[in-house]
Amino acid sequence: MKLKTLFLLCLLAILPYSCRKEIKSEKGGIDLISNVYFDASKGLEQMQSFHLSKLNYLGNQIIEFVPDHSFPEINMQTYFMQDSLFYPVENDNESIILSEVAKTQKPQLVWNKKEGAIFSKEQILNYRNRRKLSDTVLFNKKYKRFEINSPWNYTRFYIYPTDTILPYSIYRHAEKDYGGRLERIDSYNKKTDIFVSLQLLPRKNWDYAAKEIFDFNHFVNSRKSE
């Protein structure tokens, strides 16, 4: 009888994890923003903000605009990504045919991309030594948190509990462990006295330029099927 009760308790403990079903977001956008604070121990007045990447996706197709750091309204580079591959494309070209780009250009693995959104298979440094923190609320959203403290760095990670996953994640392994989406990393370098906040901001709508590209490709594909 005791053995049966113990088995039922174990089953109930793992049931929420085994039944959890992830839902892929089919359409939307993601902005990667980084705020860098210099001489952070003296205050947060010396700050510089960087718009690292503007991702726009439809299914498994992603169009990324990498803004110029000096002039964020200007895109320095444009990439087309699909199935873990990426292709550089011409900036501000709304008439590109994505299927032709994939056929005519040599594909490169997204893990080798060095600009904009960085895709990584690596685990968070010292992840095993993380410490759980209490949940918190930021911008009306509740986050799970954990921290990693080392002699040279102190970092906090914020995970938004959700079943909806995006086509891009900063550290997918942490998202699987915590059942959510890693949307913010705050890191303080103890040696350089620099504080960096990296934010992943999901959005429902595409950038105007991405909408033009996706709409044009939908038109081209619909003509081919006629």
**What pTM does this model have?**
0.86
What topology does CATH give the domain 21-217? Answer: outer membrane lipoprotein receptor (LolB), chain A (2.50.20)
The whole-angstrom separation of Cα 137 and Cα 41 is: 24
Residue 96 has pLDDT above 80, yes or no: yes
Mean of pLDDT values over 112-117: 94
How is residue 49 written in tokens? 């903000």
Instruction: Quote the percentage of the chain above a pLDDT of 70.
Output: 89
| Residue range 5-26: mean pLDDT, rounded | 55
Q: Give me the sheet containing 27-37, strands edge to edge.
A: 108-109, 85-89, 75-82, 61-67, 47-58, 27-37, 194-203, 180-189, 153-161, 141-149, 131-138
